[in-house]
Amino acid sequence: MNGKAKTMLVCGGSVAVGLVSGFFGGGGGMLAVPLLALSGLDQKHAHATALLVILPICIISASIYIAAGFFDGQTVLCACIGVVLGGIVGAALLNKLNPTLIGIIFALMMIGIGIKLVIV
């Protein structure tokens, strides 16, 4: 993929990532990973980059939701502890696993979540 096509893909796709994150309160990373992989990043770099890419929209979206009163402090505290612990384990696994296996796990997880959303 040439530089101009890559730039257009990433910039255009980023709008969709932001829209999904803002609308659903998260989930933009699920779009960011395949988008970044299509732009030429390997699986490990795509996953790691997606985490940093969604950080600003997460902060902005959270601020808007908090200002609107959609905030439960106890739930946030419990979730933050789990997310930090899971993030540490996930980042360590990302460094150790084969990129192909990471892609397969990610694809299966997306398919499973999609099926669950359709069924429920």
Number of domains in the chain: 1
Q: Taking the mean position of all CA atoms in its chain, how far away is CA 96?
A: 20
**Amino acid letter, 120:** V
Strand, coil or helix: 57 = helix
Residue 61's closest CA among 110, 103, 106, 26? Answer: 26
Range of the domain at 81: 3-119
H/E run at residue 42: none
C-beta neighbour count of 26 within 10 angstroms:
15
The pLDDT value recorded for residue 10 is 85
pLDDT in tens, the chain (120 residues): 788 888 888 888 888 888 887 787 677 888 888 889 888 898 889 988 988 888 888 888 888 888 999 888 889 899 999 999 998 998 898 889 998 898 899 899 989 988 988 997
What CA–CA distance (Å, rounded) separates 111 from 51?
20
